[in-house]
A and B are shown apart, each in its own frame.
Chain A
Amino acid sequence: MGERIEACDLVFSRGPRRILDRVSLTLKRGEIVALLGANGAGKSTLFRLLLGLARPHGGAVRLDNAPLDSWSRREVARRIAYVPQGHAPPFPYLVEDVVALGRIPESGLLRAPGEADRAAVRDALARLDLSRLVGRPYTEVSGGERQLVMIARALAQGARLFILDEPMTGLDFGYQTRLLGLLRSLATDGHGVLFSTHHPDHALAIADRVAVLHDGRVIADSPARSVITAPIIRCIYGVEVEIVEDASGARIVSTNTVADLQQ
């Protein structure tokens, strides 16, 4: 479930500091939206507002054309899955048990997982090629595997809208590449995917749209190729780049040399 989530003119402040200033963003099923922004630009805050984990001080979030507040937490969880950065919990839950937590919105808090839940867990693990991890403590698998387990949990949850908080962070090149392919395939079979990233390359590679948060405002929200340009990268990160086209698509090449940056 879950067709569309919209943020309209969100305002969020922490003390005197305005973290988000009239931010609007939409995610629909079947599309991939990448969120770019420097550290501290407000990406995580925006995600928390979209998930209903914090309330905006202005503006509104709408889920499937109704205010987010009007949905119960469980109904939200059946529509939006949150994929946090894979972290180690204090207790060594097995991988399949962590994925089974994704079934809570379906089965309810007080029911033990049933056969349908176990089947959903098996399917999610199989889809991400993680079946070999069954029986292993989640705390003892690698960081990349942990991130994939979080995505498997989101799949088991059955929600159609995915929000991923910097899913590539800490992953090696192989996992990053596989994860990009996976996000693309999720969108192809009808999921809406919103992810934040520090790598404009990742946005270029898979995103249908790229939104850029800068100083608490959305300064761009358009198809990837029109957003990821040398001036915008300079504005976000303060470095000079060139966008190069080749047979495999567009890539970003830094034109600064290390010597330039040292001056």
Chain B
Amino acid sequence: MSLLPAALIASALLAMTIGRYPLSVGEILGYAAAGLGLDDIPADRADMLHNVIVEIRLPRVMAAALVGAALASSGAAFQAVFRNPLVSPGILGVLGGASFGAALGILLSGHWLVIQLSAFAMALLAVGIGVGVANLFGPASIVMLVLGGMISGALFTSLLSIVKYTADPNDQLPAIVYWLMGSLGNLDLRQVAFAGAPIILGSAILAALGRALDALSMGDDEARSLGVPVDLLRYTVIALATLISALSVSLAGMIGWVGLVVPHAARMLLGPLNARLLPASALLGATFLILADCLARSIARAEVPIGVVTELLGVPAFILVLRHARRGWL
């Protein structure tokens, strides 16, 4: 567990060095020291470093860390709530809703703020519809929630198709397609800071609910007999996990596999206790996405969409997970 923060810091430093203008770790630390008044560097050099480090790379690395943490901890939380290690954050329709919202934002305005707000709002709406459908015929069981999420996801996927069909094929349609592949490139520090606070707070609350989630994952009746307020807990966790995954998707678009594979890896490293698993997943998810973004920026001459990279990395990672999977499921 203590190695995970170290790995996160190391990967963040590494990511800061990579780019069109390569920097060494020493230069970055020197700049940071100068910023704290511990060191002196020439003004023009300081400006250049400020530009590369603070304006360009820092927002990107922070965004990667936040999005990775949000996807992985919401994935782990959903897995506990649904008692199924094969669940990913999209289970209740959050990704379908966000995709439609972003596409709608691109169609209507194209301004990043509109796109992000629309993606976020539609992601919440999609989960609301999924949970609502599940509860139509009395308090929802797990299976009903899964079905509600499928229905809501299908609804928003078809709405997305309508938007794509009506979008201008010269500029709007490519923009939608690129958004769906995920990107960390167009974020500034303000956006990242704005989304960062709720993501960190939400992940921390989820981790604090870890022990209750352990009980919940044993079954509703058992959890109630242990004094756990099952419905309150389940919907609190769904709300928090939806909030942070919706924020991450609206920032960075579709980035698949992180929310499914990273919690698995964390479970293999540290065991299944949620009080440990949730923070570990967040740290590991942040590290994973920073490294995936390094690859996305450096494997080809042009940048590769980060969603494509995580999917390509996710497949072998998931096969490894299957190999080491414990019995008791599958």
Contact surface of A with B, Cβ cutoff 8 Å: 48, 51-53, 72-74, 76-78, 80-82, 84, 87-94, 97-98, 101-102, 104-105, 109-113, 137, 139-140, 157
Q: Are A82 and B225 in contact, CB atoms less than 8 angstroms apart? A: yes
A-B complex: 4 closest residue pairs judged by Cβ atoms: A77-B227, A139-B328, A82-B225, A91-B272
Mask: chain B, 253-276; 1 = CB below 8 Å from A; 0 = not: 000000000000001000111010
Write the nearest CB–CB distance from B115 to chain A, whole angstroms.
37
Determine the distance from Cα of A105 to Cα of B229 in the docked complex, in whole angstroms.
11
CB neighbours of B226 from chain A (8 A): 77, 101-102, 104-105, 157
**Contacts A51-B225, A53-B224, A84-B222 supplied; 11 other A-B pairs, CB < 8 Å:** A82-B225, A84-B219, A91-B85, A92-B272, A93-B273, A97-B273, A98-B218, A104-B226, A109-B209, A110-B211, A140-B327
Residues on A with C-beta less than 8 A from B83 are 89-90
B221 surroundings in chain A (CB, below 8 A): 48, 51, 53, 82, 84
Whether A137 contacts B215 by the Cβ 8 Å rule is no
Given the known inter-chain contacts A101-B215, A110-B211, A112-B275, please indicate yes or no for A90 contacting B85, CB distance below 8 A: yes
Q: Mark B4-48, 1 if CB is under 8 A from A, else 0.
A: 000000000000000000000000000000000000000000000
A88 engages B328 (CB within 8 Å): yes
Tell me whether B158 is interfacial, beta carbon within 8 Å: no
A residues in contact with B214, CB < 8 Å:
93, 97, 101
Measured between alpha carbons, how far is A230 from B212 in the docked complex, in Å?
Answer: 48
CA distance A92 to B85 in the complex (A): 11
Q: Which of B85, B209, B212, B214 has the most CB of A within 10 A?
A: B214
In the complex, chain A residues whose CB is within 8 Å of the CB of B211: 101, 104, 109-113
B327 x A76 contact (CB < 8 A): no
Any chain A CB within 8 A of the CB of B208?
Answer: yes
Cα(A90)–Cα(B209), bound, Å? 18
Distance (Å) between the CB of B232 and the closest chain A CB?
10
Closest Cβ of chain B to A197, distance in Å, is 19
Q: List 26 A-B contacts (CB under 8 A).
A: A48-B221, A51-B221, A53-B221, A53-B224, A73-B227, A73-B229, A74-B227, A76-B227, A77-B226, A78-B227, A80-B225, A82-B225, A89-B83, A89-B219, A90-B85, A91-B272, A93-B214, A105-B226, A109-B209, A110-B208, A110-B209, A110-B211, A112-B211, A112-B275, A113-B211, A139-B328
For A140, the chain B residues whose CB sits under 8 A away are 326-328
CA distance A58 to B275 in the complex (A): 41
Q: Specify which of B80, B208, B209, B326 is in contact with A92 (CB 8 Å cutoff).
A: B326
Decide: B228 and A73 in contact? CB cutoff 8 A. yes
Q: Does B157 contact A (CB under 8 A)?
A: no
What total of chain B residues lie within 8 Å of the partner, measured CB to CB?
A: 30
Question: Does more than half of chain B's interface fall in helix, strand or loop, or is it mixed?
Answer: loop
Task: Verify B218–A89 contact, CB threshold 8 A.
Answer: yes
Interface residues of B in 286-326 (CB under 8 A from A): 326
- Cβ 8 A contact of A109, one of B80, B224, B228, B326: B228
Known: A101-B215, A105-B227. A94 touches B271 (CB 8 A): yes
- By a CB distance below 8 angstroms, the chain B residues around A73 are 224, 227-229
Q: Assess whether A104 is in contact with B228, with CB atoms less than 8 Å apart.
A: yes
Complex contact A89–B215 (CB within 8 A): no
Q: How far is the CA of A140 from the CA of B226 in the complex (A)?
A: 23
Smallest CB gap from B274: residue in A: A91
Best-surrounded residue of B80, B229, B272 (most CB of chain A within 10 A): B272
Tell me if B329 counts as interface (CB < 8 A to partner A).
yes
CB contact between B326 and one of A78, A104, A110, A137 (< 8 Å): that residue: A137
A101, B224: Cα distance in complex, Å: 12
- In the assembled complex, the Cα of A73 lies from the Cα of B209 at a distance in Å of 17
Mark interface residues in B108-133 (1 if CB within 8 Å of A CB, else 0): 00000000000000000000000000
Report the minimum CB–CB distance from A109 to chain B (whole Å): 5
Among residues 181 to 238 in chain B, which have CB atoms less than 8 Å away from a CB atom of chain A? Answer: 208-209, 211-212, 214-215, 217-219, 221-222, 224-229
- Tell me the complex Cα distance, A113–B214, Å: 13
Q: Given contacts A48-B221, A84-B222, A101-B218, are A93 and B272 in contact (CB under 8 A)?
A: yes
Contact between A109 and B225 (Cβ–Cβ < 8 Å)?
A: no
What is the distance, in angstroms, from B218's C-beta to the closest C-beta of chain A? 5
From A77, A87, A94, contact of B225 by CB (8 A): A77
Which of A77, A101, A110, A112: most chain B CB closer than 10 A?
A101
What are the residues of chain A within 8 A of B326 when measuring CB–CB?
A: 92, 137, 139-140
Report A-chain residues with C-beta under 8 Å of the C-beta of B51: none
Query: B166 to chain A: which residues have CB within 8 Å?
Result: none
CB neighbours (8 Å) of A51 from chain B are 221, 224-225
Instruction: List residues of chain B with CB within 8 A of the CB of A92.
Output: 271-272, 326, 328
Q: Judge whether B135 is part of the interface by a CB distance below 8 angstroms.
A: no
Q: With A82-B221, A109-B212 in contact, do A91 and B267 touch (Cβ < 8 Å)?
A: yes
Candidates B84, B208, B271, B273; contact of A90 at CB < 8 Å: B84
Residue of B nearest to A106 (CB): B227
Q: How far is the CA of A63 from the CA of B229 in the complex (A)?
A: 19
Taking the closest CB of chain A, its distance from the CB of B329, in whole angstroms, is: 5
Q: How far does the Cβ of B243 sit from chain A's closest Cβ, in whole Å?
A: 20
Which residue on B lies nearest to A111, using beta carbons? B211
Q: Cα distance A74–B227 when bound, in Å? A: 4
The complex places the Cα of A91 from the Cα of B218 at a distance, in Å, of 9
With A109-B211, A110-B209 already in contact, the answer to whether A89 and B328 are too (CB < 8 A) is yes
List residues of B (46-98) whose CB comes within 8 Å of A's CBs: 80, 83-85
